[in-house]
């Protein structure tokens, strides 16, 4: 069922608490190449990247060339992204070892860009 102009949120019962999935956002992220599909073969279950590979590459280039270098216009959204990047890079355990390497930080930033883009588009069209 489609709700034009409204986000679709599905709530289901989980093992310990209720699970809320924003289906509209997940579909949007899938179109941008940031979705995953579950592939099963025998005992093996793997989540594989799915969606547009061209969009995924463009997002990766934006994160690598603009956000990580700080070459973005100054506004509230980019400030939020830069603060999130600094938080991810500073994240370390008790012995000082970093918990996330470069590719994991980039993937989390790409996901954050998609989520912020979706939120701004929803805000603009409501």
Domain presence at residue 1:
no
Question: How many structural domains is the chain composed of?
Answer: 1
4, 99, 121 from 42: Cα distances, Å? 40, 32, 41
Q: What are the tens digits of pLDDT across the range 61-81?
A: 999 999 999 899 999 999 999
Integer Cα distance of 47 and 1 in angstroms: 26
Q: What are the tens digits of pLDDT across the range 31-43?
A: 999 988 888 888 8
Residues contacting 87, CB < 8 A, separation 6+: none
Q: Give the pTM.
A: 0.81
Domain presence at residue 36:
yes
Tokens of 24: 């509209």
Full domain range(s) for residue 118: 9-124
Is the Cβ–Cβ distance between 69 and 88 less than 8 Å? no
Domain presence at residue 2:
no
């Amino acid at each position: 069922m489609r709700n034009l102009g409204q986000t679709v949120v599905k709530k289901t019962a989980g093992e310990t608490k209720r699970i809320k999935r924003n289906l509209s956002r997940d579909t949007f992220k899938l179109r941008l190449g940031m979705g995953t599909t579950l592939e099963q073969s025998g005992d093996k279950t793997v989540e594989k990247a799915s969606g547009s590979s061209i969009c995924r590459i463009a997002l990766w280039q934006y994160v690598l060339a603009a956000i990580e270098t700080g070459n973005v216009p100054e506004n509230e959204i980019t400030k939020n992204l830069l603060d999130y990047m600094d938080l991810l890079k500073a994240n370390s355990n008790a012995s000082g070892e970093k918990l996330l390497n470069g590719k994991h930080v980039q993937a989390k930033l790409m996901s954050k860009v998609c989520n912020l883009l979706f939120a701004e588009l929803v805000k603009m069209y409501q």
